Amino acid sequence: MPHKNILRALAVAAVVALSAAACSSGGSDNKSKDANGPITLTWWHNGNNEPLLSLWKQVADDFHASHPKVSFKIQPFQNEQFTTKIPVALQGKNPPHLYQQWGGGNEASQVKSGKLMDLTSDVSGWIGQLGHAADGWKVNGKQYGVPYDQHVVGFWYRTDLFQQAGITSPPKTIDELNTDVTKLKSAGIAPIAIGSKDKWPDAFYYDYFAVRECSTKVLKAEMKAQKLNDKCWTKAGQDVKDFLATNPFQSGFLGTPAQQGAGSSAGMLANGKAAMELQGDWDLSTMTALTEDKALPSKLSWFTFPTVPGGHGDPDVVLGGGDGFSCTTKATKACADFLKYMASPPVQKKLAQAGVGLPVNPAAASALTDPTVKKVLDASRKANYIQTYFDIALPTSTGQAMDDAAANLFAGKADANAVAQAVNNAATGNR
Q: What is the pLDDT of residues 42-89, one digit of tens each?
A: 999 998 888 889 999 999 999 999 999 999 999 999 887 888 899 999
Mean pLDDT of the chain: 89
Would you state the pLDDT for residue 151? 92
Percentage of the chain lying above the pLDDT 70 cut? 91
What is the dihedral sign for C-alpha 390, 391, 397, 400?
Answer: positive
How much is the pLDDT for 84? 85
Average pLDDT rounded to a whole number, residues 101-127:
93
User: What is the pLDDT, as a whole number, of residue 36?
Assistant: 55
pLDDT (tens digit per residue) in 236-288: 999 999 999 999 999 999 999 999 999 999 999 999 999 999 999 989 989 99
Question: What's the N-to-C CA distance of the chain in angstroms?
Answer: 24
Tell me: pLDDT of 144 over 70.
Answer: yes
Handedness of CA 395, 201, 270, 81 (dihedral sign): positive
Please state the pTM of the whole predicted model. 0.80
- Return the pLDDT at 319: 95
Q: Structural domains in the chain?
A: 14-150+321-372 (3.40.190.10), 152-318 (3.40.190.10)
